Amino acid sequence: MKPRIILITGSNRGIGHATGLELCKLGHTVLFTARTLSSLDATKQICTDKGYKAEYYELDVSKLTSIQKLHKDVAKRHQHIDTLINNAGILIDRDYPLQAVDDKISAMPLDKLETTIQTNLVGPIMMIQTFTGMLKKSSSGIIVNFSSTLGSLTDMGSGMPSYRISKCALNAVTRICATELKGIKVNSIHPGWVQTDMGGKEASLTIAESVPGVVWAATLPKDGPTGKFFFNQKEIDW
Ligand SMILES: NC(=O)c1ccc[n+]([C@@H]2O[C@H](COP(=O)([O-])OP(=O)(O)OC[C@H]3O[C@@H](n4cnc5c(N)ncnc54)[C@H](OP(=O)(O)O)[C@@H]3O)[C@@H](O)[C@H]2O)c1
CATH number at residue 182: 3.40.50.720
Q: What is the pLDDT of residue 102?
A: 61
3-state secondary structure the chain: CCCCEEEECCCCCHHHHHHHHHHHHCCCEEEEEECCHHHHHHHHHHHHHHCCCEEEEECCCCCHHHHHHHHHHHHHHCCCCCEEEECCCCCCCCCCCHHHCCCCHHHCCHHHHHHHHHHHHHHHHHHHHHHHHHHHCCCCEEEEEECCHHHCCCCCCCCCHHHHHHHHHHHHHHHHHHHHCCCEEEEEEECCCECCCCCCCCCCECHHHHHHHHHHHHCCCCCCCCCCEEECCEECCC
- Residues in contact with ligand 1 (CB, 6 Å cut-off): 9-10, 12-16, 34-36, 39, 59-62, 87-90, 119, 146, 148, 190-191, 193-194, 196-199, 203
Task: Write out pLDDT tens, residues 95-151.
Answer: 655 445 567 888 888 999 999 999 999 999 999 999 999 999 999 999 999 999 999
Regarding pTM above 0.95, the answer is yes
Task: Write out pLDDT tens, residues 47-84.
Answer: 999 999 999 999 999 999 999 999 999 999 999 999 99
Domains identified in the chain, total number: 1
| Domain span including residue 120 | 5-235
